[in-house]
Chain A
Amino acid sequence: MNEFEYLIDNFKQLPVLIKIVWILSGILGVIIINLVIYLKYLRGYLRNKEKIFAKFQSEYEGELINYLYASEEEDATKLKIVKKMKTCIKDKFKRKIFLTVLSKLKNDISGEMADSIQHLYVESGLIDYSLAKLKSSKWDVKAVGIKELALFEITNVYSEISKYKDYPKQEVRNEVQLYFVNLFQFKGLDFLNDLITPISEWNQIQLLEILQKFDDQQITDISPWLKSENKSVVMFALKLAKIYNQFQVINILLELLAHENKDIRVEAIKVLSYFQANEAKQILKNNFINSSIDEQIAFFNMLEGIVETSDEDFILENVSHENFEIKTLALKLLKFINTDRFNSLSLVASDVESKAIFNYLEDN
Chain B
Amino acid sequence: MDSSTVKIILLTIHYLFFIYAFTVIASYIFLAVISAIESIQYIKKNSFVNYNEILASTVSPSISIIAPAYNESLNIIENVRSLLSSHYVNYDVIIVNDGSKDNSLELLIEAYDLVEVNYLINEQLKTKPLREGIFKSTNPAFEKLIVVDKENGGKADALNFGINISKSKYVACIDVDCLLLEDSLQKMIKPFLEVTDEKVIASGGVIRIANSCIIKEGKLLDVNVPKKLIEVAQILEYLRSFLLGRMAWSRLNGLLVISGAFGMFDKKIAIEVGGYDTNTVGEDMEIIVRMRGYMEEKKVKYKVAYIPDPLCWTEAPDNYKILISQRNRWTRGTIETLRKHRKIGFNPKYNLFGMLSYPYWFFFERLAPIIEVVGILYFLILIALKNVRWEYALAFFILAYLFSVMFTIIAIFSEELTFHQYKKKGTGFKLLLVTLLEPFILHPFILYAALRGNFDYYFNKKKKWGEMTRKGLSKK
Closest residue on chain B to residue A359 by CB atoms: B118
Q: By CB atoms of chain A within 10 A, which of B53, B194, B195, B406 has the most?
A: B53
A-contact 0/1 string along B125-139, CB 8 Å cutoff: 000000000000000
Q: Is A14 touching B391 in the complex (CB atoms < 8 A)?
A: yes
Q: Write the nearest CB–CB distance from A193 to chain B, whole angstroms.
A: 19
- In the bound assembly, the distance between CA atoms of A99 and B413 in angstroms comes to 28
User: How long is the Cα–Cα vector from A22 to B192 in the complex, in angstroms?
Assistant: 49
**B190 contacts the other chain (Cβ, under 8 Å)?**
yes
Interface set, chain A 63-98, CB cutoff 8 A to B: none
Name the residue of chain B whose CB is nearest to the CB of A328: B120
B399/A25 in contact, CB under 8 A: yes
Give the Cβ gap from B194 to chain A, nearest Cβ, in Å.
Answer: 4
The reply to whether the CB of A54 lies closer than 8 angstroms to some CB of chain B is: no
* A325 engages B416 (CB within 8 Å): no
Most buried by A among B122, B123, B410, B423: B122
- CB <8 Å contact, A209 and B56: yes
B395 to chain A, nearest CB (A): 4
| Bound: A310/B293 CA distance, A | 46
Contacting residues, chain A, for B50 (C-beta < 8 A): 206
- Tell me whether B406 and A39 are in contact (CB under 8 A): no
Interface stretch (choices B41-49, B92-100, B320-328): B41-49
Say what secondary structure dominates the interface of chain A.
helix
Given A232-B196, A239-B59, decide whether A31 and B412 contact each other with a Cβ distance below 8 A.
Answer: no
A170 to B120, CA, bound (A): 42
Q: What is the total number of residues of chain B having a CB less than 8 Å from a CB of chain A?
A: 47
**B118–A39 touching, CB < 8 Å:** no
A35-B406, A198-B196, A200-B195 known; A205 vs B399 contact (CB < 8 Å): no
Question: B194 near A46 (CB under 8 angstroms)?
Answer: no
Residues of B contacting A15 with CB < 8 Å?
391-392
The range of chain A's interface size is 35 or more
Cβ contact of A205, chosen from B60, B118, B122, B197, cutoff 8 A:
B60
Residues in A neighbouring B48, C-beta threshold 8 A:
140, 143-144, 147, 171, 175
Query: Does A6 touch B at the CB level, under 8 Å?
Result: no
Partner of B118, one of A29, A42, A360: A360
Chain A nearest Cβ from B243, distance in angstroms:
15
Are B425 and A205 interface neighbours, CB within 8 A?
no
Contact, CB under 8 Å: A40 / B406: no
A188-209, CB < 8 A from B? 198-203, 205-206, 208-209
A356 at the interface (CB under 8 A from B): yes
What is the minimal beta-carbon distance from A135 to any residue of chain B, in angstroms?
Answer: 18
A363 to chain B, nearest CB (A): 5
Report if A201-B399 is in contact (Cβ < 8 Å); known contacts: A18-B391, A325-B122: no
Nearest A residue (CB) for B424: A47
State A239–B56 Cα separation when bound (angstroms): 16
- B11 shortest CB reach to chain A, Å: 13
Q: What 1/0 mask marks residues of chain B from 399 to 433 whose CB sits below 8 Å from any chain A CB?
A: 10011011001101100110010010100100010
Residues of A within 8 A of B416 (CB): 39, 42-43, 46
Contact at A43–B399, with CB atoms within 8 Å?
no
CA distance A181 to B315 in the complex (A): 45
Interfacial chain B residues near A21, Cβ < 8 Å: 392, 395-396, 399
Beta-carbon contact of B428 and A205 below 8 Å:
no
| Residues of A with C-beta under 8 A to B396 | 21
B352 interfacial by beta-carbon distance below 8 Å: no
A364: Cβ under 8 A from any B Cβ? yes
Q: How far is it, in angstroms, between the C-alpha of A232 and the C-alpha of B412 when the chains are bound?
A: 42
Contacts of A147 in B (CB 8 A): 48
Contact with B along A242-253 (1 / 0, CB 8 A): 010000000000
- The answer to the question of B355 belonging to the interface, with a C-beta cut-off of 8 Å to chain A, is no
A32 and B428 contacting across the interface, CB-CB below 8 Å: no
Asked if A7 is an interface residue, CB under 8 A from chain B, the answer is: no
Give me the 9 closest cross-chain CB pairs, A-B, nearest first: A202-B193, A209-B53, A198-B196, A28-B402, A201-B193, A360-B120, A21-B395, A140-B44, A202-B194
Beyond A201-B61, A359-B118, 18 additional contacts (C-beta under 8 Å) are A31-B406, A43-B416, A143-B48, A170-B194, A200-B196, A202-B54, A205-B53, A205-B57, A205-B59, A209-B56, A239-B59, A356-B121, A357-B120, A360-B118, A360-B119, A360-B120, A363-B118, A364-B118
Residues of A within 8 A of B (CB): 14-15, 17-18, 21-22, 24-25, 28-29, 31-32, 35-36, 39-40, 42-43, 46-47, 50, 140, 143-144, 147, 170-171, 175, 198-203, 205-206, 208-210, 232, 239, 243, 324-325, 328, 353, 356-357, 359-360, 363-364
**24 A-B pairs (CB sep. < 8 Å):** A14-B391, A15-B391, A17-B392, A18-B392, A18-B395, A25-B395, A25-B398, A28-B399, A35-B409, A35-B413, A36-B432, A42-B413, A43-B416, A46-B420, A47-B423, A140-B45, A199-B196, A202-B194, A206-B53, A209-B56, A243-B59, A325-B122, A353-B123, A357-B120
